[in-house]
Amino acid sequence: MKEICLGFEVHQPFRIKSNFFWDRLDFQSVPKGGLINHYFDQSLNKEIFNRVAKKCYLPSNQILLEQIESYKKNNKKVKVAFSLSGIFLEQCELWNKDVLDSFKQLADTHCVEFLDQTYYHSLSSLWPDKSEWIEQIKMHRQAMKDLIGFEPTFFENTEFLYNNVVAKHIEELGYKGIFTEGVERVLGWRSPNYVYRPKGCKKLRLLMRNYKLTDDFGFRFSARWWEEYPLTADKYSLWLQATPGQCINLFADYETFGEHHWPETGIHEFLRYLPQEILSKEDLILATPTEIVEKHEPVGEIDVSESDSISWADIERDTSCWLGNTMQWAFYRSVVELAPLVKESEDEELLRIWRYLQMSDHLYYMFTAGGGPGEVHSYFSPHGSPYNAFINSFSVIIDFKARIREKIIPSIFPFEFHSKDFNRKVWSLKGLIKAIEYSDIDSIEYYIRQGELKEWIECSLQDYDLAKKLEELEHLSGEELKKNLCNIMVNRYEELLKYQRLIVKPRIVPTEYFLKFSDKARHILRRLPSWNAFWFNKSTGEYTGHYAMSFAEFVDKIKNVDINSIEFHSYRGDFSKWMKDALHDKELAKDLEDIINKGYRGEELRNAIYDVVRKRFDELVRISMGKT
C-alpha cells in the first residue's frame, strides 16, 4: 500500500511599506508600540489576508472538512498536513478569527497533522549561531499548542531549507521527522518517494517532496499551454498510482487553491475530488507525515552539507532565491548583525520588529534574476521592482538600527565578560550594566584592577568621562565596589539618554560629545552614511546632481557647484545646519552663519564660504594627525 501525503504551507507576510523611502518616513517620531504600523503596510496586509481568506482559506478548509467527514467511518480516511507560520496565526487573530476557527475544526477531526516551523518564517537556520532559530521553533510550538490545540512532532523548516546541521538540531529537539525537497543533485539515481535518514542522525526520519508531481497542480493547473491541460483529479490520481515508491509527498502553498489559481479555473473542484480519487485506488491511501515515518524504515542516508543547503525555491532549489545578489546579502547581514544589540535592549517591541524583519519574504522580493522565477517573485512583491524592495527595506533597517542604538548606547566592539556564573559578550553600555549586576565580585575586581574595563569604555564606548570616573573606584573592593560601579554606570546611562531626540536620528552626538580633540577631529572628517549626505539643489526639488558624504567632499564641491545652489542653501541656513547636525562641528556652523549675515552674493559668497571651510578642514586634518 502506497501512502500519499498531501501537505500545505500556509503563510502571509507583513509587507514593508513600498513608499517608506520615497515618502521620507525614516527617523520620524513614533509612539511606543507604533513601529509595526510605521514600517509595515498593515492596511495592504489586512486587505490581502482577507481576500485570500475569502478565496482560499475558508472555502478550501470547508472542502477538506466535508471530505474528512464523509470518510470518517471508512477504513481509508482523508488525511492532510499543514504548516502554519506564526505570522499567519497572528494575522488570523488580528483580522479574521473565522480562519483560525476553521483550522481548529480541522485539528479536532484528528485526521490533520500540523507541523512545526520557525514562528517568523525566517532564514535563521542559516545563521552560524542557531540559538535564535531554536527560540523561534519553540515559540511556534507553543503557538500551535495555544491557538490550534495541537503539539507537532514533525518539522518543516522555512521554505524547506535543509542541511545536515539543521537535521541534527531538529533531532535533538525531539521531532520524529523533517521535510525537505527531493533534489536530484542530492538524490542522484534515487527516488524522493521513500523514507530516508539524515546523515549524523539516529532517530530522525526524512521525507522528500516530489516537486514534479506537486508542480503539476501547484504551477501548471491553469496553464492552457500545458499538454496535460485540463488536469482532473481522476487523471492525477492515476499518475500517483503509476509512480513507484513507498510514499509520495506532495507539498504546496495552500494559496494554490483559490488565490494562485482562481476559483474559476476549477481548482476547488480538483481539491474536492482528489482525496476521493486517491482513496478509490486499492493500492493508495492518504497518510500524515508522522504516520509515514513511523511505518517505514529508512532505505538510505541523505547527506547535505551546510555549504550546499537545499530548499524548494526556484529552479536552483538552494539559497540563491534569498541570498543570490549583493542587495539580499546586505539586508540579510544587517539583520543578523543586529542580534546582540536588539537582545541587549531588552525591549519587547524592538525584538518583535527585528524578528518581523527576518521574514524570508523581504529577501524574496529583492530577487533580480529574470525568466519564470523572476516573474514569480515579481507576482508576490508589493514593491514594483527588486531595487525598490531593497531601497525601502534597507531604509527600514537603517531607521530601526538608529532606534536600537538610541536605547542601548552601543560600543564599537564587544567586551568579553567572563564570570564564575556566566560568560557573555557585551555590546553596549546597557549590556554592561546588566553584566555587572549578575557578575561575581572577583570578576569585577579583576577588570577594575587590570584596567580592562576602563580601556574598553575609552576605546569602544568612547566615553572618556565615564572611564575617568572608574579611577575613583580603585580603592574600593567587594560589594562596595560593585554597588558604586553599578551606580556610576546607571547614572551615566540615564544621563546619555537625555541627549536623545524626539525625532530619531542615527546616534552620533552623545559619542562625539565625549571625544578628545584628535578623536573629535577624526569624527568630523569621517565619511557619512548616505542618509546624512549633503545634496546640492538649485531650488526646492531641483537637484544639481552633486552631493557630499564627507567634509572633504563638501570642500571640493563648493569650488565648482552651481552658484545658484550655493545661494539657495546659504540663505536657508542649510550649510550651517548640516555642519552642526551631520558633521557635529558647531564652530564651523557658527562661522558660516556669520558669513551669511554679511549679505554676500554670487562668487563673493562662494569664495567666503570656501575660504572658511578650507581653513577649518586643514585645521582638523592637522589635529587628527596629532599636530598643532
Q: Give me the DSSP letters along 261-279.
A: B-GGGTHHHHHHHHHHHHH
Give the position of cell 547581514.
333
Task: Tell me the residue type at 336.
Answer: V
- C-alpha pair distances (Å), 142 with each of 96, 137, 149: 21, 9, 10
- Catalytic residue, from 3, 159, 259, 458: name it: 159
Residue 512 is among the residues annotated as catalytic for this protein: no
pLDDT lower than 70: segments of the chain: 372-374, 377, 499-519, 529-531, 540-541, 626-628
The three-state secondary structure class of 306 is helix
Question: What's the chain's length in residues?
Answer: 628
Pairing of strands 2-10, 284-286: parallel
Q: In 298-419, which ranges are continuous DSSP H helix?
A: 320-323, 326-337, 339-345, 348-356, 360-364, 371-380, 386-408
CA nearest neighbour of 28 among 399, 352, 388, 390? 399
Instruction: Give the helix/strand (H/E) hosting 7.
Output: strand 2-10
Residue 486 class from Cβ within 10 Å (0-12 exposed, 13-18 middle, 19+ buried)?
middle
- C-alpha pair distances (Å), 278 with each of 68, 270, 275: 13, 12, 5
- Under CATH, what is the fold of the domain 2-319? 7-stranded beta/alpha barrel (3.20.110)
Report residue 135: phi and psi, to 5°: -65, -40
DSSP 5: E
Report residue 487: phi and psi, to 5°: -65, -45
In angstroms, rounded to a whole number, what is the distance separating the alpha carbons of residues 491 and 22? Answer: 40
pLDDT confidence of residue 517: 57
∠ CA 245-251-256 to the nearest 5 degrees? Answer: 135
Give the position of cell 552651481.
562
End-to-end CA distance of the chain: 88
Whether this model's pTM surpasses 0.95: no
pLDDT confidence of residue 524: 86
pLDDT confidence of residue 158: 97
